[in-house]
Structure 1
Amino acid sequence: MLSRFYKNSSRSILWLLALSFPFLHWQAQSIRSNNDIETWLPVESPVRASYEQFKRDFGVEEMVMIGLETPRVSEAQIEALCGRLERLPGVRQCWSPGRLRSTMTDMGVPEDQITARLRGLSESADGRLAGVAVLLSGSGLKDRAGTVRDVESELKYAGLYGPQTALSGGPVVITEMDRLGGKKENTKFFLITLLICLLLLRYWVKDWKLAFAVLALTIWTIDLTLAVFKWCGGEMNFILGALSVMVMVFTLEASIHVIHYFKESQHSSDTLGSALTLCWRPCLISLMTTAVGLFSVSVTDIVPVTQFGYAAALGAVIAMAGGLTITPAILAVIPQKHSEDLAEEGLVFARLAHWLLPRYRVVTVSFLAVGAVALVGLNWLETKIEPLDFLPKQSQVVTDVNRIREHLTSLDSIEGVVEFEDSSLPFTQRLEVVRGLERKLAGHSAVRHVMSAAMFFPDPLPENPMKLLPILQKAQAQSSTSEFVVDGQRAWRISARIECPEGQNLSQIYDELNGLVEGEPIRLTGLAPLIEQAQHEMLNGFWKSFTSAFVVIGLVMTVALRSVRITLLAMVPNVLPMGIIFGLLGWTRFPVDIGMMMTGSIALGISIDGTFHLLVRYRDQLRTGMSNRESVRVALVATGGPIFESIVVSSIGMLALAMSSFAPTYRFGLLMAVLLLATLVGDLLLLPALLCFGGDPARSQTEVPPPVFLEKSRKQDVARQQREKVA
């Protein structure tokens, strides 16, 4: 019935795909991007909620720091630049050394105190670098990239743009992350991936038309996935940049299995019908396990990773469904010649089975021994989120950030909010409380600078009321202090710039600073604690997603195979190789970043596909009366080819991501390729070896006809031997 449907409707199906492609492609390209780091944790998270309250009280924390060489840039030029920058819609205020010095002078701060407060903050210790802090407005936060471009344009207009001028700050780093993880950069290596996969397809299917048609199908499924994701309200981020390659991999994997079953059934009177009968069950279960593996990634509280889980699961369903339903239409339209490829392919895996089966105990023990040593390394597995590490080491942004960090101030900050509930408390007393808290925070070795409204006042304040009154009157008129005091002097801000010493992280420093001010009316928050909390959640999310994927995939396979023993045996060849790889990361103390944390669950969902195909064939052979050992041999020979081809295509597709200069993308691609190849070894070596345990090693007395391609390979061997004798 299905074969008749495809014979009658295949051309209509393919025309429908071709006509829908322009619209889907337009929708896919118009999807929005959002790489805001502060949105990584859910709004209901206490750390995120505290930071959102801070932003409502004091405005946007982010700023662009411009480092200018003072020998070649005069103070008048700096002030002219600040005036132009403040007219930009994305900028609310600029702080230059001259402006800060002028404000402090008006407030009666002695010259020696002014110099000490500005040194290493907006003026370098040697006086050769001046720092201009450009504070973003609300609209600037919504369009960081546009604001950074506007700042660069003003620098060019003033003749100050170039390698001698350093640009630093969160918006600059995030803009560079947007560029490296964006569509334009991703398109470069995606096109290379398409070309490589086209050549591999041509090598395996031996037909250019079929190879081009399958590749066109992958592009259609990618655009359909992105379009549906957009319609569901999804936004792209730098992690989802890998989604296109993943959907391509899933589509090619499904198509390769369908083509393989089609070739295996070519001696049947109804080739297409026989192929669909053979492939629907293992492919459907594979679709379920892959989707479960990807969806399990969404159990974490890291928002971009959760979105990736949803989008990747959607992509897997669309890709697998497209591969299983559209590939038969392609095969019905493009005539296929009878091929002897399966005979040669089967011969390779027959030799592998001939070597493996007598040595199944040695192979199993070897895997378990290596795994036992490697798995110890999981105890030292750690996570790390450092946005600067996402960028290439030779990047101009990294160079600028390091330069400003060395001579001026660091990017990381912990913000303190001092809240005064007693409205009758005088301003001067509040100032002294804030100043006391400043001293406590500044006493920590990791704190480089502390900024608050107190920095604009002399220390100590004049005792003479006649001298103090003009200072307080000027303070009311100063806009600089309004950045640090809000809500009728109820809330005061203290900003501590942090530089982590070797061996410490922001989480430890955050806890230690909380200990220093324990019992005081201050609440610590900021973007740095938010990132640190996300870092902790990453490790929890890694284990939660992998565990949930393992459990749910195991249940699906148990129901499908109706055997707990075989399900457990099936999970070992997939889990153990991945455990070895992650264990090695732990042994080498290589931290897992936000891209790498997803790979375990995704690789498990993909690799279990080949496992299930082998197990279905193994169970089918057992039902015919074949012995356990012979069933393993026939299953390995029959399914080894498509398992090998699909994993190799998947690995090469993922490996293409390693060409990206964006660290999360290339680490994700590289680790995915390594994990998939490791599970391929597990499927082709460890799984058959494990299946040999517990069965009758003797050959069955029942005569079972071998698969067609095995019989043909034996005939080819005999014919070749006869030709060699004649020669």
Structure 2
Amino acid sequence: MQINIKNRLLEIEKILGNLAIFIARHPKWIIFSVFLLVFLSASQLPKITVDTSTEGFLHATDPARVAYDEFRNQFGRDEKIVVAISTNDIFKLEKLNQLKALHQRLAAEVPHLFEITSLINARYTQGNGDSLLVDDLMTQWPESQLDAEKLKQKALNNPLYRDLLVDSQGEFTVLVLESNTYTNQDIDSKRVSDNKINSGIPEIPIEETILEDAFSEFDSLAQPNEATKQKEFISDKENSEMVAAVSQIVTDFNSDDFKIYVAGSPSVTAFLKSSIMGDMQKFIVMILAAISIILALLFKRLSGVILPLISVFLAVVVTLGMMAWNGTPIKVMTQVMPSFLLAVGIGASIHVLAIFYKNYDTHKDKEQALIYTFEHSGLAIVMTSLTTAAGMLSFAPSNVAPVADLGIFSALGVMIALLFTLVLLPALLIILPIKSKSINNDSEHHDFLDKFLKTIARFSQTNAKPIVIFSLIFMALSLGAASQIGYSHNPLKWFPPEHETRIATETIDKEMNGSISLELVIDTHQENGLYNLELLKSLDKVTLELQQIKGDKFFVGKALSLVDVLKEIHQALNKNQPEFYRLTSNEKLIPQEILLFENSGSDDLQDFVDSQFSKARITVKVPWIDAFEYDELLNQVAEILKRNLPSSVSITTTGMIPLLAETSSAAVSSSGTSYLIAFAVIGIMLILLLHSVKLGLLAMIPNLLPVLFVLAVMVVFQFPLDLFTMLIGAIVIGIAVDDIVHFMHNFRRFHQQGHSTEKSVEMTLISSGRAMMITTLVLFVGFMLYLFASMTNLFLFGLLTALAFVIALIAVFLLAPALMALTYPEKANQRETL
């Protein structure tokens, strides 16, 4: 058995040695081929996009995503920009004029705008005998403060306005901006009524073609066809353009007594995108600078700095080019990928250069040094990259789309970095003039490190039992504590507490009882099914009960449906008397009331029903809280719907809240799967590499220690698992195993040569320990750079991952040798067969 293993290892080393010979003799051809690949990939980079949308967290085929897309095709986009104004009294004439001017500017200058709603153009329905008049609240602009006070009473007494457009005191009001549903619309298809505010406001010119496109948009929302369903929804770029325009306009109106806040999920999305792009560029520069310093201190050669940076940077370029070519956008999770690949990819280059330079300085022969490097550590370098790729690829099955993308393209990037390290880096070493150094130049430095590593080796062997016992107890306790860890998914909390978007959202939640919505679609499955009075009464009961929901951390601020419009119509047709704000008792009047409303010129019904009057929409406004806390809300909503609605109707729950809730649920289930896949695949790879089930499984113990350490820290300090911290385990398992691979590979090599366990450990640490320390330092610094991120979730992710790599190195230096000492006890120079 031992002879077969040795023979196989010799065969692999021989193949790697032949690869080194080929590279040494054809460096120009290899360099040309690599740079051609880089050029082709880089040409795709202008096509890369960014997607930070809430629905972007889920795959396009996810049922929750499919339901949401169908909802948007039917009713338009539910994500709205909310511009809120806080003042002492919005109905003071001066404040109304400011509100009017702001409304006009937004309506005229914000791109991709479909509709804007505020007190200025709020629908006001009133009866005049048997006719119905539907106009804007401020059709007649107030000429005096007395007129403004009358408007104030009308507005505050209207139940539809309260907590939707204005608070109960008239001190807080909002303008709601809805974007076009689909992308590539070069015009601003705003409702006609938005521009015809009143005679006191100059009407904004609208071309006839714009009107046609606007009504075409209405038709597409009311009755989507196959062509409509194939359209792409508004792009992340267009969303950002809208938010940027809004933010620019409001600065001209913002003041101490007219305080303006900009919130809504489009704002959160836009600022996430801005943070991602800024952080990506910042991290790439910072990690390149940090790696350059570390390489310069380690190798003290220009080639030792420039060449590995070229290899790993080009690998990142190719990987991003592959993403662009595949049409995969950069998302919240994949923003860490470039800096991740730089930090991880440089490790293989360090191992190659450390051995190459040492041999080259001794023998003065580049080709011989390259062959020795490939034969000595080529297999370990390949295996470390494979295990890292396997760890990242464990994210591929995730139901969270950005996590799956991170897994696939990070694994691809690691393999591209390996290819460039084993092909491009050696070719550059061969073709460029590199001077050898005297082998005594670093003798003092190496003597110090050698003494330190020998001390570590002796300590781990002498104290093997206490080290193993302590480690196992700590791992068991950490595993038990893991059940106490909490979960979190709240993109709003990714922003610092002082961030304007977070402040705006929290302020609107407080003043207007919610800033995002839960959408319910009730399908009767029959044309005009919504004319049924009993069903409408059920819907009325549902909305009333929904508005009574209140939990410890959530509440329903408002629920709106077709019923609210019908109540408004019924009141208007009964001399506008408040007691008639209810549904008619005569079912035959329902179609007539609806017809009167439609003939009045208002198209607001399309917000609540489809064109066949078979589907009804209920919009439930709630505050922005952690997605995991929405579960109880969704359960209460489901219970109310089940209790009040007939079984003949079908119910679809969608909107931002279900998307957030589904993302959090998918993240939890997928993370567990990823951990199991990473553990199983890497364990099998270690067994195959070491040709020993026993050694392979033992090697996994030090690999699990840093993961359990992170869990323990999170429990002690009450850090929750979120979309980023959930990644740490699989990332650490995949990367930390690199040091284990180098340790076990070299330990087995020296042990099979007849050295004792103690000597084999010592020689292993001396030969590979230095490179392990440097690669760990690179990883530590690389992930600690996330402390400078603009988003707080990256701060914790970087800190915990960096600490995990330090613990992983300690485990390799102490726990792994201790396990070998207990597994293979022997006297000095006694041969042991593995």
TM-score, length-scaled by structure 1 = 0.89
1:329 and 2:372 aligned: no
Alignment of 1:290-689 (within 5 A): 290-332=388-430, 333=432, 334-340=434-440, 341=442, 342-423=446-527, 427=531, 429=533, 431-445=536-550, 446-456=555-565, 457=568, 458=571, 459-461=581-583, 472-476=595-599, 477-499=601-623, 505-519=629-643, 520=645, 521=649, 522-689=651-818
1:197 and 2:291 aligned: yes
Alignment-mate amino acid for residue 138 of structure 1: T
CA distance 1:466–1:39, shift in 2 (3 Å):
closer
Match of 1:123 in 2: 166
Stretch deviating more after TM superposition (547-556 or 446-455):
446-455
1:261 and 2:304 aligned: no
- Alpha-carbon distance between aligned partners in 2 of 1:64 and 1:79, rounded to the nearest angstrom: 18
Q: Tell me the CA shift for residue 488 of structure 1.
A: 2.1
Match of 2:117 in 1: 95
1:235 and 2:326 aligned: no
- Alpha-carbon distance between aligned partners in 2 of 1:590 and 1:74, rounded to the nearest angstrom: 45
Stretch deviating more after TM superposition (335-344 or 288-297):
335-344
Where in structure 2 are there 5+ consecutive unaligned residues?
Answer: 1-17, 128-132, 138-152, 184-233, 572-580
- Is the contact between residue 250 and residue 320 of structure 1 (CA under 8 Å) also seen in structure 2? no
Partner of 2:620, secondary structure, is: strand
CA distance 1:664–1:318, shift in 2 (3 Å):
farther
Match of residue 78, structure 2, among 61, 65, 69: 61
Alignment-mate amino acid for residue 548 of structure 1: I
- Alpha-carbon distance between aligned partners in 1 of 2:626 and 2:501, rounded to the nearest angstrom: 23
Q: Tell me the CA shift for residue 38 of structure 1.
A: 0.8
Match of residue 28, structure 1, among 34, 45, 49: 45
Q: Tell me the CA shift for residue 412 of structure 1.
A: 3.1
Match of 2:147 in 1: none
Q: 1:394-448: CA deviations, max 9, x gaps?
A: 1111111112111114223211112223546573725433222211211211211
Match of 2:56 in 1: 39
1:52 and 2:69 aligned: yes
- Alpha-carbon distance between aligned partners in 2 of 1:161 and 1:154, rounded to the nearest angstrom: 16
Q: Tell me the CA shift for residue 472 of structure 1.
A: 5.0
Q: Tell me the CA shift for residue 319 of structure 1.
A: 0.9
Stretch deviating more after TM superposition (49-58 or 126-135):
49-58
Where in structure 1 are there 5+ consecutive unaligned residues?
Answer: 704-727
Stretch deviating more after TM superposition (395-404 or 95-104):
95-104
Match of 1:721 in 2: none
Q: Tell me the CA shift for residue 649 of structure 1.
A: 0.7
CA distance 1:112–1:196, shift in 2 (3 Å):
closer
- Alpha-carbon distance between aligned partners in 2 of 1:444 and 1:542, rounded to the nearest angstrom: 32
Q: 1:338-379: CA deviations, max 9, x gaps?
A: 434444432321121122211111111222222222222210
CA distance 1:103–1:308, shift in 2 (3 Å):
farther
Q: 1:587-616: CA deviations, max 9, x gaps?
A: 443212212222211221111111111111
- Is the contact between residue 367 and residue 686 of structure 1 (CA under 8 Å) also seen in structure 2? yes
CA distance 1:129–1:443, shift in 2 (3 Å):
closer
Q: 1:165-218: CA deviations, max 9, x gaps?
A: 111101001000000011x33212321221111111111111133212222322
Q: 1:60-84: CA deviations, max 9, x gaps?
A: 1111111124258633543454455
Match of 2:207 in 1: none
- Alpha-carbon distance between aligned partners in 2 of 1:433 and 1:126, rounded to the nearest angstrom: 31
Stretch deviating more after TM superposition (198-207 or 463-472):
463-472
Stretch deviating more after TM superposition (301-310 or 632-641):
632-641
Q: Tell me the CA shift for residue 501 of structure 1.
A: 8.5
Q: Tell me the CA shift for residue 57 of structure 1.
A: 1.8
Alignment of 1:115-264 (within 5 A): 115-139=158-182, 141-142=234-235, 143-155=238-250, 164-182=259-277, 184-264=278-358
Alignment-mate amino acid for residue 447 of structure 1: V
Partner of 2:395, secondary structure, is: helix
CA distance 1:323–1:537, shift in 2 (3 Å):
same
Q: Tell me the CA shift for residue 5 of structure 1.
A: 4.1
Q: 1:245-284: CA deviations, max 9, x gaps?
A: 1111232101100012224434357222211211211111
CA distance 1:173–1:500, shift in 2 (3 Å):
closer
- Alpha-carbon distance between aligned partners in 2 of 1:328 and 1:425, rounded to the nearest angstrom: 73
- Is the contact between residue 725 and residue 796 of structure 2 (CA under 8 Å) also seen in structure 1? yes
- Alpha-carbon distance between aligned partners in 1 of 2:126 and 2:741, rounded to the nearest angstrom: 73
- Alpha-carbon distance between aligned partners in 2 of 1:215 and 1:174, rounded to the nearest angstrom: 33
Alignment-mate amino acid for residue 240 of structure 2: A
Q: 1:696-724: CA deviations, max 9, x gaps?
A: 33111689xxxxxxxxxxxxxxxxxxxxx
Stretch deviating more after TM superposition (635-644 or 450-459):
450-459
- Alpha-carbon distance between aligned partners in 2 of 1:375 and 1:385, rounded to the nearest angstrom: 23
Match of 1:698 in 2: 827
Alignment-mate amino acid for residue 474 of structure 1: F
Match of residue 75, structure 1, among 81, 96, 101: 96
CA distance 1:337–1:564, shift in 2 (3 Å):
same
- Alpha-carbon distance between aligned partners in 1 of 2:340 and 2:471, rounded to the nearest angstrom: 29
Stretch deviating more after TM superposition (562-571 or 62-71):
62-71
Q: Tell me the CA shift for residue 557 of structure 1.
A: 1.3
CA distance 1:682–1:634, shift in 2 (3 Å):
same
Stretch deviating more after TM superposition (274-283 or 516-525):
516-525
- Is the contact between residue 500 and residue 506 of structure 1 (CA under 8 Å) also seen in structure 2? no
Alignment-mate amino acid for residue 289 of structure 1: T
- Is the contact between residue 291 and residue 605 of structure 1 (CA under 8 Å) also seen in structure 2? yes
- Is the contact between residue 72 and residue 181 of structure 2 (CA under 8 Å) also seen in structure 1? no
Q: Tell me the CA shift for residue 48 of structure 1.
A: 2.4
Alignment-mate amino acid for residue 48 of structure 1: R
- Alpha-carbon distance between aligned partners in 1 of 2:816 and 2:830, rounded to the nearest angstrom: 25
Stretch deviating more after TM superposition (530-539 or 624-633):
624-633
- Is the contact between residue 610 and residue 683 of structure 1 (CA under 8 Å) also seen in structure 2? yes
TM-score, length-scaled by structure 2 = 0.78
Alignment-mate amino acid for residue 288 of structure 1: L
- Alpha-carbon distance between aligned partners in 2 of 1:503 and 1:389, rounded to the nearest angstrom: 11
Q: 1:74-100: CA deviations, max 9, x gaps?
A: 335434544554455522212212433
Q: Tell me the CA shift for residue 3 of structure 1.
A: 5.1
Stretch deviating more after TM superposition (311-320 or 216-225):
216-225
- Alpha-carbon distance between aligned partners in 2 of 1:610 and 1:453, rounded to the nearest angstrom: 64
CA distance 1:376–1:337, shift in 2 (3 Å):
same
Aligned pairs, number: 702
